[in-house]
Chain A
Amino acid sequence: MKTKLIALSAVAALSISALAAPLTFDFKDPKGVNNAVFKLDAPLEAINGSASGISGTVTFDPANPGATKGKIVVDAASLQVPNSMMKEHMHGAQWLDVANHKEITFEAKELKNVKSSAEKTTADAVGTFTLKGVTKEITVPATLTFLKDKLAARTNGQMKGDLLVIRANFAINRADYGINPKAPTDKVAETIDLTLSIAGAAPEK
């Protein structure tokens, strides 16, 4: 009887620790839906585009969302605009220099002002943002939505597990990252508005 009780307690403890353990979400989306949108709204010209080459991992604990950490990587070559000539210029050395700076990254180091309700968490993610080889510490307001057991619905039952949706809106200054700082601001806005909409998967092991 005593042995059975010990065994049961051990199983229960293991189950609780498994439930409480942080989950690692992979943001390489096989559906290709994850995206980052950028907008530059200058008085004479508005430039809108998006990037789809998203990858990275985020460690999220549903019981402690404030401990979330991770790194999101955007493939710089995946940045698109509706005009092919404009895209060529944007990828060129004067602007993003995609050939030499292949990745745009944000590494979240800590979350501040964390507010959680049901499956949603809002917080200010403090971390390092790297663009065109320049790294700066920034704070990004983000919303994290934990979708428990929703991976199966997204993969037509092929995989079981959880999903984590991250949405973030923030702005950076073009000149801070050496993106053609001499370009006239009436044609190319100094502020770049960025919107990140990504979903990561944590398959059951």
Chain B
Amino acid sequence: MKKALQAVAVLVAVAAVGIWLATGAHRGWTKTQVEKITVDEITGIEGRSYEKQFVAGAELLSAGLLTAVTLAGISLFFRDQTKLKTES
């Protein structure tokens, strides 16, 4: 149980960091759509439209890392099965 929890903690931490880096390492809030700017040649106005795109924010990274730390912490309350076997 201890090792399983620690493995899940590592997996969650790696996934959180991986997704955050892969979607652009955005330091603000999570975005579900991104702004696309196109310039009108005649007027020079920058037109703005939104496209659906997921960009993980810092709060998602923090939540992932916090979950990983919590799981790793909980794992400390479990005894190591291999140690238990050798003791007996």
Contact = CB atoms under 8 A, between A and B. Distances in A.
Interface stretch (A109-117, A134-142, A146-154): A146-154
B34 A82 contact: yes
A197 B27 CA distance: 28
B48 to A, nearest CB: 5
Contacts, number: 60
A32 B50 CA distance: 12
B70 interface: no
Interface stretch (A33-41, A62-70, A91-99): A33-41
Contacts of A84: 32-33
A interface: dominant SS: mixed
B47 A33 contact: yes
Interface of B: 28-35, 38, 40, 42-50, 55
Contact of A83 (B29, B43, B44, B48): B29
B3 to A, nearest CB: 37
B interface: dominant SS: strand
B43 A50 contact: no
A165 B49 contact: no
Contacts of A32: 47, 49
Contacts of A45: 29
Given A37-B48, A52-B49, A83-B30, A154 B43 contact: yes
Interface string A17-46: 000000000000001111101000000011
Q: Which 6 A-B pairs have the closest CB atoms?
A: A33-B47, A82-B31, A199-B43, A154-B42, A84-B32, A50-B48
Nearest to A34: B45
Contacts of B55: 82
22 contacts: A32-B49, A33-B45, A33-B47, A34-B47, A35-B46, A35-B48, A46-B28, A50-B35, A50-B48, A52-B47, A80-B33, A82-B31, A82-B33, A82-B34, A82-B50, A82-B55, A83-B29, A154-B40, A154-B42, A165-B45, A199-B43, A199-B45
Contacts of B28: 46
A147 B43 contact: yes
A83 B59 CA distance: 13
Nearest to A164: B43
Given A33-B45, A46-B28, A80 B40 contact: no
Nearest to B33: A82
Nearest to A165: B43
Nearest to B42: A154
Nearest to A49: B35
A136 B43 CA distance: 30
Contacts of A154: 40, 42-43
A86 interface: yes
Nearest to A154: B42
